A and B are shown apart, each in its own frame.
Chain A
Amino acid sequence: MMASSYNAKDEDGHITVTGPGGGAVLRSKKPENTAFKQQRLPAWQPILTAGTVLPAFFIIGLLFIPIGIGLFVTSNNIKEFEIDYTGADTSSPCFNCSQNFSWNSTSPCTCTVPFYLEQPYESNVYVYYGLSNFYQNHRRYVKSRDDSQLNGNLKSLREPSKECEPYAYHNNKPIAPCGAIANSMFNDTLELFYNDPNGTSVKILLGTTGIAWWTDKHVKFGNPGGVDSNLSAVFQGTTKPLNWRRPVYELDSDQSNNGFVNEDFIVWMRTAALPTFRKLYRIIGKSSQMVPTLPRGNYTLEVVYNYPVRSFEGRKRMILSTISWMGGKNPFLGIAYITVGSVCFFLGVVLLVIHHKCGNRNNGAEISN
C-alpha cells in the first residue's frame, strides 16, 4: 500500500505515469478491447500520390485562370486618377503653403491644383486622400486612443484613459477626443471644380456620408449624452486636441455628422495598415444615367492647406477612383490568380508525365496488363 502511494510521487513537475491501477494489485488488469484503446478505429487513409493529386491540380488550374482573367479585366476597367499636392517642388502650386506652414496661423493657406481627366468617370466616383511615409501603424500611435470615450462614455470623457498620454489633458482639461491619433487628424479641405469648356467653373458636390463603416458610425462611435443632445454643452469642460483648429463639436454643421460620429473623424481613427495609405474622403454621387459623373476635361483641386507633412518627408495625394465589386484598382489579385492557375496546370502536366513513368515502374509487379 505504501509502495503504491509512493508511486505517485514525481520530480520537478514531470509527469510520471503509473499504469492504470499500478502497484501490486492482483486483480486481472486485462485491458478493454475497444477500437479506440487498441488503436483500431476505422480510418480513412488518404495518400498523396501523383495520381490522386493530378485532378486537383487540373481543377485548380482550370478554376484559377478564368477567375484571374476576370479579376484582371475588372481591375483594368477601373479608372483611377492620382495627384500629389504636397508642394515639395518649387514649381508646384502648393509650394508656398507647404513652406510657410505654422500651427498658429489664423488665416488658412489655400492653393489650387489644376488637372485634366482624360476619360470620363461613370457611376460613383470616390475621392481619397493619400498620405505617404505616415506611420499610422506605429505602436504607440495605434494605442493612443480611448475607445470608451469615443463610444460616448461620459466618465471617459472627463477622465481619458492613460493610453492617451501625453494627449490626455491640456491645461488640466481633458482632451476630447484624446490621444495621438485624434490629435493628428487630417484636416486639409479638398474641393473640386470642373472647368467647363465654356469657361465657367462648376463646384462638384462632394458627399460626406457613407465614407465610414456603418457599424463604426452607429455602434462603435457615439456622442456622449445620446443622439439628440446639445453637443457644445456636453463637451463643456473638455478641450480640443492641441493641433485642431476647431473643437470636436464643430466638425460639421449637420448634427448627425458632428462630434465623435463625424465620418471624417471615424475614417481617420481607423489606423491604416501600412505607412503609405489612402483614406476615403468624399463620394461624388452619380447624378444621372446619361451624363458621366466626372466628364472628360479640366478640373481644379482647391486645397485648404492645413496639414503639414514635410517635417517627416511625407506626401499628400488626392485620388479619384471608380469602384467595382472588387474594390479599387489592384491588378495584384488577378495576376496572382492567373500565375497560380498556370503553375498548377503546368505542374499537373508534369505530374501526369511522372505518374505515367514512375507509376508503372513502381507498381508493375503487382498487377499488370
Chain B
Amino acid sequence: VEQRDLTRFFLSSCICMGEEIWLDSRTVYIGHKEPPPGAEAYIPQRYPDNRIVSSKYTSWNFIPKNLFEQFRRIANFYFLAIFLVQLIIDTPTSPVTSGLPLFFVITVTAIKQGYEDWLRHKADCSINECPVDVVQQGKVVRTQSHKLRVGDIVMVREDETFPCDLILLSSSRHDGTCYVTTASLDGESSHKTYYAVQDTVAFRTEREVDSLHATIECEQPQPDLYKFVGRINIYKDREEPLARPLGAENLLLRGATLKNTQHIYAVAVYTGMETKMALNYQSKSQKRSAVEKTSGQRHVVSSFNLRLKDTVLTASVKNHLLSNSTSLVCLPFLLQVIRAFTDFLAFMVLFNYIIPVSMYVTVEMQKFLGSYFITWDEEMFDEELGEGALVNTSDLNEELGQVEYVFTDKTGTLTENNMEFIECCVDGNVYIPHAICNGQILTCHCICKMKVCLCRQEHEDLFFRALCLCHTVQVKEEETVDGIKRGIHQGRPTSFYISSSPDEVALVEGMKRLGYTYLRLKDNYMEILNKDDEIERFELLHVLNFDSVRRRMSVIVRSSSGECLLFCKGADSSIFPRVVSGKVEQVKARVEQNAVEGLRTLCVAYRRLSESEYKEARRHLNEAQLALQDREQRLAQAYDTIEKDFVLLGATAVEDRLQEKAADTIESLHKAGMKVWVLTGDKMETAAATCYASKLFRRSTQILELTKKRTEEQSLHDVLFELSRTVLRQRSISGYEIIHCLDFGLIIDGATLSAILKSKQEGAGPGNYREIFLEIGRNCSAVLCCRMAPLQKAQIVKLIKASKEHPITLAIGDGANDVSMILEAHVGIGIMGKEGRQAARNSDYAIPKFKHLKKMLLVHGHYYYIRIAELVQYFFYKNVCFIFPQFLYQFFCGFSQQPLYDTAYLTLYNISFTSLPILLYSLVEQHITTERLKRDPSLYKSNSLLRWPVFIYWTCLGVFDAVVFFFGAYFLFDNTTFTSNGQMFGNWTFGTLVFTVLVFTVTLKLALDTHHWTWINHFVIWGSLLFYVIFSLLWGGIIWPFLNYQRMYYVFMQMLSSGPAWLSIILLITVSLLPDVIKKVLCRAVCPTATERAQVPSLHQFQLSCYQVGGLFSSFDSCFAKIVNQLLLSHFKSRAFWQKVESTPMLADISYFYCRKPNE
C-alpha cells in the first residue's frame, strides 16, 4: 500500500511540475469570460447542462429497455425460454399456460416501474424547470434551472435550494460566509458554515460580481460529498493572477438549502448529472438475502431433478418407441437425436411448473408488504424524534431472524451521545461545575489539592481559554434548530451552540458554567466573556480541523497582546506523545481514572508560537491548502509538523449516558444466542466501562485482553496462543451442556487487530493468527474492540463473515464512521442519531433507538424468518404435489407428455387456487405470541427452518402426497366404473379428481400449519377452496365459445354426482394429511422444541384447569359448573380471580383441594 501511495505521490508531483495539466481537472471561466491573454489558453470546455435525469426510461425506449432489464433476471429468462419452447415445438400445454403468468408478472412489474419512472419524470421536470437567478451582463436574469451552465454566476436567496454545485463568491454577510443546511442530502439538520474566498468577498452586487475576472480549476466531479479540491485564479489588471485554494468549505452542494443569509453569489462548477448529489445516488450494491440464496440453491436442485426426470423419461420414450415400432429404427440417427431433443424440451415444458413464476412474485410481495409491519410498529416509534423505523431494503427482512453476530458501535448507539460535561482537571486539580439550581448556576466548585501558585493560575487561564477557543462551535441566535439545542442563559436566552460534534457543545457549555462564555466568531475574532465579565478577543488565524486519524484538533489564535498561541485538544493517546512539559503524570492518572468510570476524556495542550514559528506554520498550511493533488496528505503532513512540542494543560471528562434499555437489549441479544461485539473508536477503559454498564460483560465474565500493552510485553504470537489455550481448555472441561457457565469477554484494540490482520499478508508467520483470533472470538460471548478506525470496523465484520460457518452478521451504528461496517454486514441497521443521518441513509433498516433492535430482531426478524421459510418450503411442497402426479402419469400414457390436468388448472393452480392462503400466512402468521417472543429471547436461536433435513422432509411429504393422490385415483379408475348409471369417466375426470384432492390437501396442510387464525385467515383459506369449487363448476358448466376444446364440459359436475368420488376425495385428503399430523403430534409429545413448548403453557394451563373444574363440578349443578368455567375463561390468568376464589368460602374450599394457584 505504501508503495502505491508513493508512486502516486511521485506521479502527481511530476504532473504538477509539468505545467499543471491534469486530465482529471477542469477549468471554469467565471461568467464565461476569457482570461487575459497570455495567462492561459482559453479552451472552452463542454459540460452537460443542468438537467437532472433521474428517470431510467424515455417513452420510446421504455418497452425494450424495461423488457431487457426484466429478462436479465435469471428466473424471468428461464420462463421466457420455456414460453419460447412452447411456441416453437409441439408441446403438451399451450403457450398460454406459461405465457399468461409470465406476461402478467412482466406487465405488473413494467407498470410499476413505468409509474415510478413517470413520477421521476415529473419530479425531474419540476426540478429542471424551477426558476433560477443568473447574473448576466450585470443584471439578474431569471431562467430555468436546466439552462444553467458551468461558469454561470448564480444568485441564491435565503431558503432557496442550490440548483447545482456552486463555489461561493460572496454573500450578503460581510465576512463572506453563509449558512447552509444539508438536511435533504445527509439528514444533518445543523447549520454548516461555508466560506467565500477572501478575495472575492468584496463583490457584493450583480454589477460587481459580473466584473469579476477569474477562473476556477478544480478536479473532475467525484461522488465524495465532503471532499473538494480546487483553486481559484483571480486576474487583476495585468498582475500575476492571485491563486487561492478552494476546499469543501467553499463548495455549496446541490440539494442543500441556504439559511440565515439573505443572498449569495456563487459560480456553477458542476451541473446536472455531474453534481455530487447525482453522482452519489448511483451505486448502492444490492444485498441478497440468505433465504433467497438458499431458495436459489433449491431452484438449482429442483431444476436438476427436473432435468433428471426429463432425461429418464426421454430415455424411456426412446425404449418404448424402439420396442414398439420398428419404423423408428429405420429413421436416420440425426432425426432420432432431434426427436430426443424435442421430447426433452417437451418434458421440460410439462414439468416447469415445479418452479413457478408465482413463487418469485409471492416472495417479492411478501417482502414488500411485510416490511410495512416494521414501519407501522408503534413500539418502534420514538416520540422524541417523531420517527419510527424505516425500511430501506425489504429484501433482507428474514435475515433479521438469523443473526448470529451483532456488531455495534458504542457512541450514539449504546450510549445516548448526549454529552454532559462532568469535570475538568488542570494539572491534577479537578473542577466540577455544579448542577443547575432553580435556573441559576451556582459558582463553580473547585477542589484544590494544592495551594495556589503562579504556574497553576497561568495554566488554569490558558486551559479555559483553550477550551473556549479550540472548537468549531457556532452560536445560533434564533429559536428553532433541530440539531443540538443548548440555551445560553446569561444575557442571551435565545442563543444556542451548534456543532457537528456533541462533545464540543458539552465542553463549551461546561466552560460557560465555569465562568468562561464563548460569545461568537465575528470578523475572524473569537470573543470570550471571561470570569470577570470582560470580553476578550482573539484573532482566529487557523483551524486545524479534527479528523479521525489524528484524533485531535487545533486552533492557532493571536491574543490581544499579540501572542501567537496554538491550542490543541484531542485523545490522550494523540496528545501525550507530543507533550514536552506539564504535569503529565497527574493528568494521566486522572484521565485513566475517568476512563474507568466510563467518561469520555480529552486532553488539552498548548504551544506558544514565536512569530517566526508562526510564519513557518502558516507557510506549511498555505502550501498544503493550495495543493490540488493529495491535499489531504499534505495537510496531514503540515499538521504533523505544527502540532508538536506541546505543554500539557489538563484534561476534560464528558459523560455519555447509556441509552434507555441498552443493557436490557444487550442481555436479550445474548440470551438469543447472538454474539455481541462492540466496535468503538473510544479508548479501552471508557469502552470497557460502558460494556460493564450495558451488561455486555458481567462480573463473572473472564476478561481476555489482547491489547497493545500486552503485546508489547509478550510477543503477539505468545499472547494469542495463550488465550486460545485458555479458551479451548475451558470448553473441553465444560463440554457442551454447561458451556455458558463461564463466559469469556475479549478486549482487543486497533493496533493489535491490524497486527493480526497483517500477519496473513506476511504469510510466513507460524500458524495463522487470523484463525486463532477467530477461534478465540467465537468462544467469547462478548468482544470489545476499541480504538478502531472506521475501516477496521468493516474489516472485522468481513473477517467474521468469511469465517468457516458463514454466520449472518448485523452491524448497527449511528455515525458516519459506522457506514463502512453497515455496508459490509449482511444486515446494516442505522440509528437515527445525533451525528447526522449518514448511517441511517446507508443502512438497510433505520431505527430511532438501540432498544428497538430487540423487537426488530426478536419479534419482527423471527416472524419474517418463520414466514418466509414456510413460504419457500410450502411452495416447493405444493408444486411437488402438483407435478409429481403428472410425472407418474407419464408412465401410464406412453410417455407422451400428456398433461394430467386441464390447462386452466395448470395455469391457475399457482396463481389463484393456492396463492392467497400462503401469501396471507406469510404476512400474518405468529406461531408464538409477540409477548412471549420478547419475554423469552432464547426462542430466537431455535430458527433452523431452512436446513436440508427440513427441506427433505417437505419434499418427502410432497412426494408421498403426490403418490397418494395419483394412485388413489388410479385404483379408483382401474378398469371399473364408479357411477351408479354404469357410465364411464375419461382422463379429464381422472385429472380433475387428482386436482381436487390436491387443492384441498395443499390448502388444508397450510391450515394445519397456521397457528394464528385471524378472521382474514379463515376468509382466505375457506374462500380459496370455495373459489376453486365455484370456478370448477363454472368452467365445466358452460360451452365456452372462445375455446377450441370443450374437454372439461360437465366433468367436475359428473364427478361430484358420483358417491365414490366424494368418498375417495375425503379418504385421499385424510391419508395425505395424516403423516404430517402424526409427525407434528409425535414430535410435540416426545421431544418438543423450544418453540413448541413456548406455544403451549398459557393454553395448557387453561385447558387443565378447565378440565379439572369441569370434572369437579360435574356432580354439581351443571349450570354452576358453566359459570365457573366462564369465570376461568375470562380470569384465568389474573391474580384477582384467585383472590375472588379465595374470598368466596365455598369456592375456596373446593378450589383449594383441587386446583392450586398457577404460580405455586
What is the interface of chain A, defined by CB distance below 8 A to chain B?
1-6, 8-20, 22-24, 26-33, 37-51, 53, 60, 64, 67, 71, 124, 126, 130, 135-143, 145-148, 151, 161, 163, 210-213, 215-216, 219-220, 267, 270-280, 283, 312, 321, 323-330, 332-333, 336-337, 340, 343-344, 347, 351, 354-355, 358-359, 362-363, 366-369
Contacts and interface: CB of A to CB of B under 8 A. Distances in A.
A9 B970 CA distance: 53
B1085 A12 contact: no
Nearest to A9: B54
A27 B989 CA distance: 61
A3 B277 contact: yes
Nearest to A41: B1014
A95 to B, nearest CB: 23
B982 interface: yes
B394 A15 contact: yes
A151 B972 CA distance: 30
Interface in B427-456: none
A340 B893 CA distance: 29
Contact of B1158 (A27, A212, A367): A367
Contacts of B254: 2
Contacts of B123: 1-2, 5
24 contacts: A3-B185, A9-B116, A14-B364, A24-B183, A24-B184, A26-B386, A29-B388, A30-B388, A51-B1103, A64-B1067, A137-B893, A137-B898, A147-B1046, A215-B1049, A215-B1054, A274-B990, A275-B894, A276-B974, A280-B977, A280-B984, A321-B977, A325-B1059, A328-B982, A332-B974
Given A24-B187, A31-B388, A273 B989 contact: yes
A5 B54 contact: yes
A131 to B, nearest CB: 10
A31 B1014 contact: no
Nearest to B1058: A327
Interface string B404-444: 00000000000000000000000000000000000000000
Interface in B65-100: 69-70, 72-73, 90, 92
B1008 interface: yes
Contact of A49 (B183, B395, B1071, B1096): B1096
Interface string B827-863: 0000000000000000000000000000000000001
Can you list the 7 inter-chain pairs with the closest CB atoms, starting with the nearest? A273-B990, A327-B978, A5-B123, A139-B898, A139-B896, A270-B986, A37-B376
B1081 interface: yes
Contact of A327 (B56, B899, B977): B977
A19 B375 contact: yes
Interface of B: 52, 54, 56, 69-70, 72-73, 90, 92, 109, 112-113, 116, 119-120, 123-124, 127, 161, 183-185, 187, 254-255, 277, 281, 286, 324, 364, 367-368, 371-373, 375-378, 381, 383, 386-395, 482, 863, 892-894, 896-899, 924, 926, 929-930, 968, 970-987, 989-991, 1008, 1011-1017, 1039, 1044-1047, 1049-1050, 1053-1054, 1058-1060, 1063-1064, 1067, 1070-1071, 1074, 1077-1078, 1080-1082, 1084-1086, 1088, 1093, 1095-1097, 1099-1101, 1103-1105, 1108, 1154-1156, 1158
Which of A19, A136, A219, A336 is the most central at the interface, judged by chain B CB atoms within 10 Å of its CB?
A: A19
Contact of A135 (B863, B894, B1077, B1100): B894
A362 B990 CA distance: 47
A40 B185 CA distance: 37
Among B127, B986, B1015, B1070, residue most surrounded by chain A Cβ atoms (within 10 Å): B986
A344 B972 contact: no
Contact of B1081 (A20, A46, A48, A220): A48
Given A29-B386, A139-B898, A283-B982, 6 more contacts: A216-B1050, A274-B974, A278-B975, A328-B978, A340-B1070, A366-B1101
Contacts of B378: 30-31, 33, 37-38
Contacts of B1046: 147, 151, 220
Nearest to A276: B975
Nearest to B350: A139
A333 to B, nearest CB: 6
A46 B1013 contact: yes
Contacts of B1049: 215-216, 219-220
A328 B983 CA distance: 10
B1050 A1 contact: no
A253 B185 CA distance: 90
A8 B119 contact: yes
B1099 A359 contact: no
A16 B1156 CA distance: 54
B896 A8 contact: no
Contacts of A367: 1101, 1104-1105, 1108, 1155-1156, 1158
B982 A126 contact: yes
Contacts of A37: 372-373, 376, 378
Given A8-B120, A12-B286, A369-B1108, A45 B1011 contact: yes
